[in-house]
Amino acid sequence: MNILGIETSCDETSAAVLLGRRVASNIVSSQRCHTGFGGVVPELASREHERMIVSIVDSAVTEANITKNDLDCIAATAGPGLIGAVMVGLCFAEGMAFALGIPFVPVNHIEAHMFSAFIPESPGHRSPEGAFISLTVSGGHTLLSVVQEDLSYAVIGKTLDDAAGEAFDKTGKMLGLAYPAGPVIDRLAAGGDRHFHEFPRALTSSSQRSRSYKGNFDFSFSGLKTSVLTYLQKHPEEYIRTHLQDIAASVQHAIVSVLVEKTMAAARHYRVGAVSVAGGVSANSALRKAMQEACMRSGIQLYLPGTVYSTDNAAMIASLAGLMHEKGLIGKNRYDVAPFSSFGDRTRKASLK
């Protein structure tokens, strides 16, 4: 199968070609037009995707050393995401597939993150073997799921307020850092003391609600945001500037500790031998290191995508379409799939063993 994947759910215009089990190209263009707004402006995102989509798709096909006629199918993100942004890639992909007379495969962006550790060419690539716990942490979602080998899954925990990526971006904004602040905090934290200040870890064994914690796999990061705001209000600007790296390291440590603790607790609770961490926040170096250490200690297999496949990319869209094809999960072909904005619309329930 030669698959073209297209991804436009937020502020990355991306196209990738998978030739059989090989990622032959994966072009990602990150939009710069949002700088200064402190976040993604939906209308600007859609217009920028429209401006870029033809050249990005052309580059992906050219870099893969094929022509469009060599493609067997086209897959694109159908949601969740900014609806106008999703529509650009989705309509483009459907139109192109229709014109070429090949099937179109709609892909759920969050599911594509969930299976991104299985992209061919990811370090130590292999297909899922047995059930695993998936921690999916992006700018808009924080989910813990039990995933079965047949690609079905059940969400066992989600954020009650902000996503982990939002926790990085919003606390970073308070610290005067550019959007997206996740990678900036990651870099700053490398030179700071993570024990400099203890920020709150909601719904964990160390939090005040520890009694209600057992078996609670939900997350909450809005208290961390408030806590950082209060901390900044209490300390002079000069002090904050001097200790920026320490504060960044402490904020990062609070987020990472919660993510690791909940994921490992879920692996124990559901007695699975493998864990996967994916989505933009899985590029975080402290999270990767902490998950590697925790899994090593517990004898649990860790699936991590390569960092290029952590943040939004089209290789994960093409790859999931390939996995779905392998497992016989591709439905009747249609060129009129509607975009969707919320993840809740598409959850594929798995029976929990």
- Least Cβ distance, residue 269 to ligand KG4 (angstroms): 26
DSSP state string for 88-102? HHHHHHHHHHHHHT-
Residue 94 near ligand KG4 by CB under 6 A: no
Residue 79 near ligand KG4 by CB under 6 A: no
The beta strand positions in the chain, using DSSP E, are: 2-7, 12-19, 22-30, 73-79, 104-108, 132-137, 142-147, 153-158, 274-278, 301-303
| Chosen from ligand KG4, Zn ion, none, partner binding at 106 (C-beta under 5 to 8 Å by type) | none
Residue span 124-143 as binding mask against ligand KG4, x where in contact by CB under 6 A, dash where not:
--------------xxx---
User: Judged by CB, which is closer to Zn ion: 186, or 312?
Assistant: 312
Contacts of residue 148, Cβ cutoff 8 Å, sequence gap at least 6? 131, 350, 351, 353
Residue 162 near ligand KG4 by CB under 6 A: no
CB 348 within 8 A of CB 143: no
Q: Which of 182, 305, 306, 322 binds ligand KG4 (CB under 6 A)?
A: 182
Residue 136 near Zn ion by CB under 5 A: no
The Cα–Cα gap between 72 and 271 comes to 39
Q: Which of 106, 180, 322, 339 binds ligand KG4 (CB under 6 A)?
A: 180
User: Judged by CB, which is closer to ligand KG4: 111, or 169?
Assistant: 169
- Least Cβ distance, residue 167 to ligand KG4 (angstroms): 8
CB 331 within 8 A of CB 348: no
Number of residues that bind ligand KG4 (CB under 6 A): 19
Distances (CA, A) of 199 to 26, 128, 133, 194, 230: 38, 36, 26, 10, 11
Residue 138 near Zn ion by CB under 5 A: yes
Report the Cα 202 to chain-centroid distance in Å: 21
Q: Which of 146, 281, 295, 314 binds ligand KG4 (CB under 6 A)?
A: 281
Nearest to 311 by CA among 275, 281, 286: 281
Considering only the stretches 160-168, 196-204, 214-222, 305-313, report the one whose residues sit in contact with Zn ion under the rule CB under 5 A.
Answer: 305-313
Distances (CA, A) of 75 to 89, 115, 127, 318: 10, 15, 19, 6
Q: Which of 169, 192, 250, 254 binds ligand KG4 (CB under 6 A)?
A: 169
- Least Cβ distance, residue 254 to ligand KG4 (angstroms): 13
User: Judged by CB, which is closer to ligand KG4: 61, or 314?
Assistant: 314
The residue written with tokens 């943040």 in the block is 311
Residue 283 near ligand KG4 by CB under 6 A: yes
Considering only the stretches 42-50, 91-99, 217-225, 306-314, report the one whose residues sit in contact with Zn ion under the rule CB under 5 A.
Answer: 306-314
Token code pair at residue 44: 């600007």
The Cα–Cα gap between 190 and 204 comes to 25
- Cα three-residue angle 337-340-341, rounded to 5 degrees: 160
The Cα–Cα gap between 332 and 154 comes to 24
Residue span 305-334 as binding mask against ligand KG4, x where in contact by CB under 6 A, dash where not:
------xx----------------------
| Chosen from ligand KG4, Zn ion, none, partner binding at 165 (C-beta under 5 to 8 Å by type) | ligand KG4
Residue 142 near Zn ion by CB under 5 A: no
- Size (the chain), residues: 353
Which residues form the interface with Zn ion (CB under 5 A)?
A: 138, 312
Which residues form the interface with ligand KG4 (CB under 6 A)?
A: 10, 138-140, 165, 168-169, 180-183, 186, 279-281, 283-284, 311-312
